[in-house]
Amino acid sequence: MTAKPFVKWAGGKRKLLKEISSLFSDNIKTKKVTYIEPFVGGGSVLFWLLSCNQKISKIIINDINSDLMNVYRVIADQPEELISVLEIFQLEYHAFRDNPEGRKNYYYTKRSSFNLRDQQQIIHAAIFVFLNRTCFNGLYRVNKKNEFNVPIGSYKTPLICDKDNIIAVSKLLKNVIILNGDYYETLKYIDQHENCFFYLDPPYKPLSKTANFNKYSNYIFDDSEQQRLKEFCSLLNEKRISWVLSNSDLKNENQENCFFDDLYKDYNINRVNVNRVINNNSKEKNIKELLITNRLDNKKSLILQN
Ligand SMILES: C[S@@+](CC[C@H](N)C(=O)[O-])C[C@H]1O[C@@H](n2cnc3c(N)ncnc32)[C@H](O)[C@@H]1O
C-alpha cells in the first residue's frame, strides 16, 4: 500500500530516504522490532517504513505540535468524516478560481478560525490540511502566541482533499501509537524485551542567521535543546537501543564549526549530500547533512538486538 505524507512539512526527509533506509538495513524485515519516531513531523520516514515493511510489531510516533498530531489522530480514527469536510472546503475554494479577492477572504477567514482553536477535532484537522495546501509554500510557522501566520499561496485550484492518500494513511496508522508531547515522553514506550530503534529528526540547528527559519511550534529548539537531545541519545545508548539522528552540517557554512562533531564525538557521524533551499528566494543548493548513529555492524547497518 502506498501512502505518503499528508502535509508538506519543513525538513521533510523524502530526499534522504535512500541514505536513512540503508542504515535501517534488512534487519528490520526479519526481526520483531519496535520503531519509535519522537519528532515525526510530516512522517516521510514513517510512511516509507509502513509502506514497505509489515514486520514491525510496534510503532510509536510523537511530535510536540498538537495541531499536527490532532490530524494524525483524526486520519487514523475518522478518515471518512475528514474527507467529507475537505471535499466541501475544496469545492468552496475552487469556486474562487477567477476571484482572487474571494479566495483571499476565504483563506484568511479559515486562518482566523484555526487560530481560535475552539473547533471540533475533525474541523480543526480539516482546516490544518486546508491551510497547508493553500498557504505560501506549504510552510508551517507560528508566532509567539502560537498563531499560524503564513500568508496565502498563489495556487488557484490546489488539491485539498487527497482522498486516496487519506484512506491509505488511515489504514497504515491503525496500529500506530500516536503521542503529542516532548520527545522524552517516548522513553516510557521502550520495551527491553523487543528490538527497539529510534529515528530522531529534531528541528535542525540553523546554518546561519539568514537561513530559512521554520517555526514548527512556539517551543524554541536552541543549542541547549540540542545538548539535551544528545543526553537523550546517550541514555538510549546506555540501554543498548539503536538510533539514527539527522541534523544540519554546520561545516557547510564554516569548516571550523565543530558543534555537532564535538557533541556526538562518541558516535558515528556520516555526512550525506542533499539538495536544499537554504535561504528564502534562493535556488536549491547541494549541501551536506548529518546522519549520526550509535550501534553499527560491519555492514554499516544498525545493530538491533539488545
Ligand atoms: C525536522 S522536523 C521533522 C521532519 C519530519 N521528519 C519529516 O520528514 O517531515 C522536526 C519536528 O520536531 C518537532 N519538535 C520540536 N521540538 C520538539 C520536542 N521538544 N519534542 C518533540 N517534537 C518536537 C517539530 O514540531 C517538528 O515537527
Q: What is the Å distance from ligand 1's center to 201 Cα? A: 6
Residue 94 is placed in which grid cell?
475552487
Structural domain harbouring 87: 72-164
As a whole number of angstroms, the distance between CA 156 and CA 165 comes to 21
151, 139, 183: which is closest to 12 by C-alpha?
A: 139
51, 50, 134: which is closest to 92 by C-alpha?
A: 134
- Extended strands (E) in the chain: 33-37, 58-62, 176-179, 195-200, 242-248, 268-277, 284-293
pLDDT at 39: 97
User: Does residue 114 lie in a domain region?
Assistant: yes
- Domain total in the chain: 1
User: Does residue 111 lie in a domain region?
Assistant: yes
pLDDT along the chain (306 residues), means of 10: 89 90 78 92 94 82 97 98 98 97 98 97 98 94 93 95 97 95 96 86 84 64 94 95 95 92 97 82 84 89 79
Work out whether the CA dihedral 37, 39, 43, 48 comes out positive or negative.
Answer: negative
User: Does residue 52 lie in a domain region?
Assistant: no
Q: Are 128 and 68 in contact (CB under 8 A)?
A: yes
Find the residues whose C-beta lies inside 6 A of ligand 1. Answer: 9, 11-13, 38-39, 41-44, 62-65, 182-183, 201-203, 216-217, 219, 221
Q: How many CA atoms lie within 13 A of 279 on its CB side?
A: 5
Q: Are 14 and 174 in contact (CB under 8 A)?
A: no
- Please give the order of strands across the beta sheet that includes 33-37: 176-179, 58-62, 33-37, 195-200, 242-248, 284-293, 268-277
Q: Whose CA is nearest to atom 23 of ligand 1?
A: 64
User: Does residue 235 lie in a domain region?
Assistant: no
User: Does residue 160 lie in a domain region?
Assistant: yes
User: Does residue 198 lie in a domain region?
Assistant: no
CATH of the domain at 157: 1.10.1020.10
**pTM score > 0.75 for this model?**
yes
Phi and psi angles of residue 250, each rounded to the nearest 5 degrees, phi first: -65, -15
User: Does residue 124 lie in a domain region?
Assistant: yes
pLDDT at 247: 96
For residue 213, give Cα distances in angstroms to 138, 226, 277.
Answer: 14, 16, 11
Q: Are 201 and 13 in contact (CB under 8 A)?
A: yes
User: Does residue 127 lie in a domain region?
Assistant: yes
Mutate to test the pocket of ligand 1, among 198, 216, 248 (most ligand atoms within 8 A of CB): 216
Longest C-alpha distance within the chain, in Å? 61
